[in-house]
Every structure is written in C-alpha cells, then in structure tokens.
Amino acid sequence: MPGIADQPGVILVVGRAGQVARELARPDSVRRSVIALGRPDLDLTVPDSVEMALRRYTPAVVINAAAYTAVDKAETEQEQAFRLNAQGPGHLAEACDRADVPLVHLSTDYVFNGQATRPWREDDPIEPLGVYGRSKAEGEARVRLAAPRHVILRTSWVFAGHGHNFVRTMLRLGRERDELGIVDDQHGGPTAARDIAAVCLAIADRLAEGFSDGYGTFHYSGAPATTWCGFARAVFKVAEPHGIARPEVKPITTADYPTPAARPANSVLDCGRIETVWEISQPDWRPALADAVADLLAESAA
C-alpha cells in the first residue's frame, strides 16, 4: 500500500447528485482522493464559490460533472440552462487556469444537429438543435477559451443504476403497460455513467502525473450503436429473468412522439481519437446495463 507521500493529489469533482458525479464519488482506490462538491459547498454559477473551493482543496485535477440536463425543460428555462452549462463552466475554467490546474469537462452529443450519415468526429461542425445543446456548446467554447489545459469529453445516452434515466423510465412503464411505442429513428450509443466516471478518473490520474499530450476534445460513448427502441428491448430482455414481464415494444418515429426539444437523429460518436491519444477503448454498454437494471430493481424492491 502506498504511503501518504506517494498518493496523487486531490481530484475535485464539481457536482454531487448527477449520475456521473455519483459514480465519481464512489470509493474505488486507496491511492486516489476524490472530493465531490455540489451546492452550497460549490456553486458553479458563483465565481467566488468556485475560487474558494479551489483554494481550500488545492486539487491536482478538476472534473466538472455538474450540468443542467433537463432537455425539454431547457426550452422554457433558458436562463437556468445557460447559467449552469455555459457560464458556470466558464467560471470554473478561468479559476482552473489561474490555479494552473487541468480541467476535465463533460459535454454531449447534443452539440450536433444529427444529420450526418456517419459517426460524429470531434472536428465536425457543431449545430445544436435546442437550448440544451446550445448551452453545452457555449460551455465548451468558454472552457477552450479560458483553460488551455482542458479535456472536453463528449458522451451520449447516459444511464446508471440510480438517478433519472431512460432505463428507470422503461422499467416503470413496463410495469404499467403491456405495449410501448418507442422511437426507432434516433441512433446513438448508450453509455454507462460508471464507464464515464472510470475514464474521467483515468484521464485525471494521467494529467496529475504530468501527461500533457492529451488536451482537447474527445468522444466517448458506448457500443454497439442502437436506437431508443433497440435500447428499450435490451432493457426488458435483461429485466425478464428478474421476474419483470416483457411488454411489447413497438417502433415508432420521432414524428409520432413530439417533444418540446428536437433530438438529433444521429448521435453516434466516433471514438477513435480517444483510443489513439489516451489508449481508451469504446465500452460495450450491455454488461453495464445488466448491472444497472439489477440495481434499479433492487432499489424499487427495498
């Protein structure tokens, strides 16, 4: 076991309640000190709060896992979305730059318009369809401008065995209905929050050790690509051995299920660059889905 002097510095996680933030805060190693702060201890939208947290904990690396993620509500709560997704990351990036601390910042597939016929690459032009995507795109821009020592990690279709996500919604609806119509013309890569957290920590560790050739924007999402309909069917297939009846899942189109915010038709991300630079492979989301379903079902039975 390493001694105190051999342990890497503190990794400060901004955010405490979200899916990825909760995974980041799990104790996973005697050699890593992770501190997760949310409001009121660290309010991303208040510059003084950000500065105070960095001065108090003097982190080796900061991971920003805080975000406004209510995609549809963002259409009417634009100010809140931009405060947390754009202005907040800007304050954090400025503080990190002043403290000479690398920043890992999480972003989203929603910065793209979804019209590409191939997986999205990091250098593809961004053109968000809604307020949520625009707020996240502006957050990326502010991070790039203020903190040269940054890693922006775009991901997609996040799920976990806790929190609010598509898997939980499907399990609830499956109990209530014998038939579900699920969108089958939006494509993407489901990504487990635990996998995102593991990658963030792996990157943070290497940054803390002085690795300086991996700054920039990277894509990280699960494989194989599927649709929401395909993902739903996978959820119920995994849940069936737990005694959960499998409803009939029927494919529908986006037009059949209108929402306040438009969704990208193609959210599949090209993850080749992160493998080349960081030697991080694209994860298979199916093993993590089995664990997430088991955790959610255990939670509901408790």
* The pLDDT of residue 153: 98
Q: Is residue 68 part of a domain?
A: yes
Residue 57 falls in the annotated catalytic set? no
Q: Which of 110, 132, 215, 220 is catalytic?
A: 132
* The pLDDT of residue 302: 61
Q: Which of 145, 153, 163, 162 is nearest to 108 (CA)?
A: 153
Tell me the CATH number at 126. 3.40.50.720
Does residue 188 contact residue 221 with C-beta atoms inside 8 Å? yes
Q: Is residue 158 part of a domain?
A: yes
| Residue 131 domain boundaries | 4-165+189-224+267-283
* The pLDDT of residue 29: 47
Q: Is residue 257 part of a domain?
A: no
Q: Is residue 40 part of a domain?
A: yes
Does residue 247 contact residue 187 with C-beta atoms inside 8 Å? no
* The pLDDT of residue 25: 86
Question: pTM of the prediction?
Answer: 0.93
* The pLDDT of residue 215: 96
Q: Is residue 41 part of a domain?
A: yes
Total domains, the chain: 1
DSSP E strand stretches across 100-194: 103-108, 150-155, 158-159, 179-183, 187-188, 191-192
Q: Is residue 302 part of a domain?
A: no
Adjacency order of strands within the sheet including 103-108: 33-37, 10-14, 61-64, 103-108, 150-155, 216-219
Q: Is residue 30 part of a domain?
A: yes
Task: Tell me the pLDDT of the chain (302 aa) as tens digits.
Answer: 233 334 458 999 999 889 999 999 886 544 468 999 998 899 999 999 999 999 999 999 999 999 999 999 999 999 999 999 999 999 999 999 999 999 999 999 999 999 999 999 999 999 999 999 999 999 999 999 999 999 999 999 999 999 899 999 999 999 889 999 999 999 999 999 999 999 999 999 999 998 888 999 999 999 999 999 999 999 999 999 888 888 999 999 999 999 999 999 999 999 999 999 999 999 999 999 999 999 999 887 76
Q: What H or E segment, with its residue span, contains residue 240?
A: none
* The pLDDT of residue 2: 35
Give me the count of residues in the chain. 302
Does residue 236 contact residue 170 with C-beta atoms inside 8 Å? yes
